Amino acid sequence: MTDESTGSTESATAGDDTAAPPRRRRLRLLISVASVVLLLDVVTKVLAVRLLTPQQPVSIIGDTVTWTLVRNSGAAFSMGTSYTWVLTLVASAVVVGIIWMGRRLVSPWWALGLGMILGGALGNLVDRFFRSPGPLRGHVVDFLSIGWWPVFNVADPAVVGGAILLVALSLFGFDFDTEGRRQPDRASDTEGRRQPDRASDTEGRRQPDRASDTEEPERTTAGPVTEADTERD
């Protein structure tokens, strides 16, 4: 009994050690992607504030693509401007949730998507906490305008792009805690199929007549009565 329990414990420990390295690599990937997005967002915002004048567009491609410095009190792409502090709390909860999920990550694609969302959320949270008019109510710096689309920054497309990637992964059967596609449940697949009825299958087949089959050899053994047998009597 002791040997069996020891063996099972060792196998479980070996399984955990095998699963640990991929999770650590995925966590490093998530942190790396988030760090790149956060760095780009912070640097571009600092440059935009220093080099651009509010509400004075600088042309990049005619009037279609311009540098336009605005202060955004809402969410991504200037949505929800009346709920600044609520958006700050929601973004903080998203960051905490991603960090919690990061410890269980196995899929590299989920690590990429969550890293994009984490970096973008952190980039906008920096503005929420450290820019005017004050903590939790700070306005986010936006500086890129394309056509009719609302002015945005680096963090906005990172958050939206990461969210779209995660939705696509879920639709195509890629889970965050497994590598590759989700496998179908073999047990339910077997239960769903109709199994042949052994009893009816046996009854449907014609069984040999055991009685007649036994009598036949006896008659053959007895054979016809010969004249030699009669004279002997």
Section 11-40 average pLDDT? 78
Q: Are 163 and 98 in contact (CB under 8 A)?
A: no
| Placement of tokens 């095998």 in the chain | 18
pLDDT at 14: 46
In sequence order, the β-bridge partners of residue 152 are 144
Helix (H) or strand (E) holding 185: none
Cβ partners under 8 Å of residue 15, min gap 6: none
Sorting pLDDT into bands at 50, 70 and 90, what band is 220? very low
* pLDDT tens, residue by residue, 36-66: 999 999 999 999 999 999 989 999 999 899 9
pLDDT beyond 80 at 161: yes
Which is the catalytic residue, given 17, 156, 185, 229? 156
pLDDT mean across residues, the chain: 77
Using the 8-state DSSP alphabet, how is residue 183 labeled? P
The H-assigned helical ranges of the chain are 2-51, 84-102, 108-130, 155-171, 186-192, 198-204, 210-222, 227-232
pLDDT beyond 80 at 225: no
Cβ partners under 8 Å of residue 125, min gap 6: 88, 91, 92, 95
Sorting pLDDT into bands at 50, 70 and 90, what band is 221? very low
pLDDT at 39: 98
Cβ partners under 8 Å of residue 165, min gap 6: 109, 112, 113, 116
Section 171-180 average pLDDT? 83
pLDDT beyond 50 at 9: no
Sorting pLDDT into bands at 50, 70 and 90, what band is 197? low
Residue 189 is a catalytic residue = no
The residue with greater pLDDT, 215 or 163, is 163
Residue 142 is a catalytic residue = yes
Cβ partners under 8 Å of residue 116, min gap 6: 33, 34, 37, 158, 159, 161, 162, 165
CA distance 164 to 83: 24
Q: What percent of the chain stands above pLDDT 90?
A: 42
Which is the catalytic residue, given 3, 17, 127, 142? 142
CA distance 16 to 202: 49
CA distance 17 to 25: 13
The residue with greater pLDDT, 206 or 117, is 117
